[in-house]
């Protein structure tokens, strides 16, 4: 089946989907994006993704190219036209096309691209069943990681470092020794005292939608948690560790920099949260 992409008002065959060479996303990474999971043909956590998108646009001072209802329709339509059951929707908005000049262009129209595809989600279940490894890398990103900007070079390099070391994810570590987050995931531990911990929201991490959905679930499930950063040493001495993101849900981390976390197997809190998260969304 042929894939379709939405590009600035038109649904076009994927192979013909194009943006201009002077799109500011291409030249300056002057744009934002969202990734939303699809399960059973439905968008997962659509509202918080839409809210975060709006916030990113506002922080970047980019005018939304279409209103909320139109955007929701375009995302659904892109899912439908690509016959996505279990997969993802990718949405990107840039400041638009203009002659190259760092300052904001007077005229440019924000550009919107939406794609969708099926994913072999079994591979995430398999990764969750065995657990994965995280490699720590020095934090090297800018000071506004709370904006979901397409400027992901540091994340790309970090992920590649992790992969070349045989690991699944890279964990950024700040200059005080605290883990900020993963290259494309939120980082969590169940510390040596049994408290679930993830960093507080600030400008050093993305406010993960999955993170925001899991915290109230922890309350319901009676899992004690604290929004407090943890060091690499605390993570290595933790009972459990895991990562979260929209497409993958919860994935246990069983090794950090080659050292087993806890007994080296997926822990009960991560497994409980993974099951509860998808149970409400499948």
Mention every residue, 6+ apart, whose C-beta is less than 8 A from residue 69.
Answer: none
Question: How far, in Å, are 66, 91, 94, 107, 211 from residue 63 at the CA level?
Answer: 9, 15, 10, 12, 27
DSSP helix/strand/coil, 180: strand
Q: What does the alpha-carbon distance between residue 6 and residue 93 come to, in Å, rounded to a whole number?
A: 12
* CA-based R_g, the chain, Å: 19
For residue 192, the minimal CB distance to ligand PDD (Å) is 24
Contact status: 46 vs ligand PDD (CB under 6 A): no
Region near ligand PDD per CB under 6 A, out of 20-28, 63-71, 116-124, 240-248: 240-248
Binding mask 73-92 for ligand PDD (x = CB under 6 A): --------------------
C-alpha dihedral, 167 to 32 to 71 to 73, nearest 10°: -20
Applying CB under 6 A, among 181, 197, 235, 267 the residue interacting with ligand PDD is: 181
The correct pick among 71, 84, 91, 245 for binding ligand PDD (CB under 6 A) is 245
Which of 97, 196 has the CB closer to ligand PDD?
196
- Return the HEC string of 32-46: EEEEEEEECCEECCH
* Residue 209 burial (10 A CB sphere; 0-12, 13-18, 19+): buried
- Coil, strand or helix at 219: helix
- From the centroid of its chain, how far is CA 239? 24
- In whole angstroms, how close is the CB of 15 to ligand PDD at the nearest point? 23
Site for ligand PDD in 6-45 (CB under 6 A): 35
- Contact with ligand PDD (CB under 6 A) among 244, 250, 253, 266: 244
User: Smaller CB distance to ligand PDD: residue 151 or 231?
Assistant: 151
Q: In the complex, what is the shortest distance from the CB of residue 87 to ligand PDD, in angstroms, rounded to a whole number? A: 12
Structure tokens at 69: 């209802």
The answer to the question of residue 210 lying near ligand PDD (CB under 6 A) is yes
d(CA 7, CA 26): 15
Under rule CB under 6 A, which residues in 246-275 are in contact with ligand PDD?
A: 246-247
Query: Which pair of structure tokens corresponds to residue 64?
Result: 């939304």
Beta carbon nearer to ligand PDD, 98 or 189:
189
Q: Which of 248, 256, 234 is nearest to 281 (CA)?
A: 248
Q: Which residue is catalytic, options 42, 54, 58, 148?
A: 148
Provide the minimum distance between the beta carbon of 180 and ligand PDD in the complex, in angstroms, as a whole number.
Answer: 9
Are the C-beta atoms of 37 and 213 separated by less than 8 Å? no
Q: Is 209 in the site for ligand PDD (CB under 6 A)?
A: yes
**Tokens 């976390």 belong to residue:** 261
Give yes or no: 148 in active site: yes
Stretch that binds ligand PDD, among 53-61, 184-192, 196-204, 227-235 (CB under 6 A): 184-192
136 contributes a contact to ligand PDD by CB under 6 A: no
Active site residues: 148
Binding site for ligand PDD (CB under 6 A): 35, 155, 181, 184-186, 206, 208-211, 244-247
């Amino acid at each position: 089946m042929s894939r379709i992409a939405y590009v600035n008002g038109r649904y076009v065959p994927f192979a013909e989907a194009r943006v201009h060479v002077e799109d500011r996303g291409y030249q300056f990474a002057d744009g934002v994006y969202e990734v939303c999971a699809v399960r059973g043909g439905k968008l997962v956590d659509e509202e918080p993704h839409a809210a975060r998108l709006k916030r990113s646009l506002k922080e970047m001072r980019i005018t939304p190219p279409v209103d909320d209802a139109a955007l929701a329709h375009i995302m659904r339509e892109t899912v439908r036209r690509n016959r996505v059951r279990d997969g993802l929707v990718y949405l990107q908005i840039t400041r638009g096309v203009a002659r190259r000049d760092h300052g904001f262009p007077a005229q440019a129209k924000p550009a919107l691209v939406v794609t969708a595809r099926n994913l072999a989600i079994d591979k995430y279940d398999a990764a969750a069943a065995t657990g994965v490894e995280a490699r720590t890398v020095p934090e090297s990103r800018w000071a506004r990681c709370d904006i979901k900007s397409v400027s992901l070079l540091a994340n790309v390099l970090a992920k590649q470092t992790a992969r070349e070391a045989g690991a699944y994810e890279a964990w950024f570590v700040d200059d005080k020794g605290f883990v900020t987050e993963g290259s494309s995931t939120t980082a969590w531990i169940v510390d040596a005292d049994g408290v679930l911990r993830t960093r507080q929201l600030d400008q050093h991490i993305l406010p993960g939608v999955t993170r925001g959905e899991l915290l109230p679930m922890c309350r319901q499930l009676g899992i004690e948690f604290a929004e407090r950063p943890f060091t690499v040493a605390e993570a290595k001495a933790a009972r459990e560790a895991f990562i979260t993101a929209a497409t993958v849900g919860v994935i246990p981390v069983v090794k950090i920099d080659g050292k087993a976390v806890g007994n080296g197997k997926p822990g009960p809190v991560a497994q409980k949260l993974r099951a509860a998260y998808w149970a409400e969304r499948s």
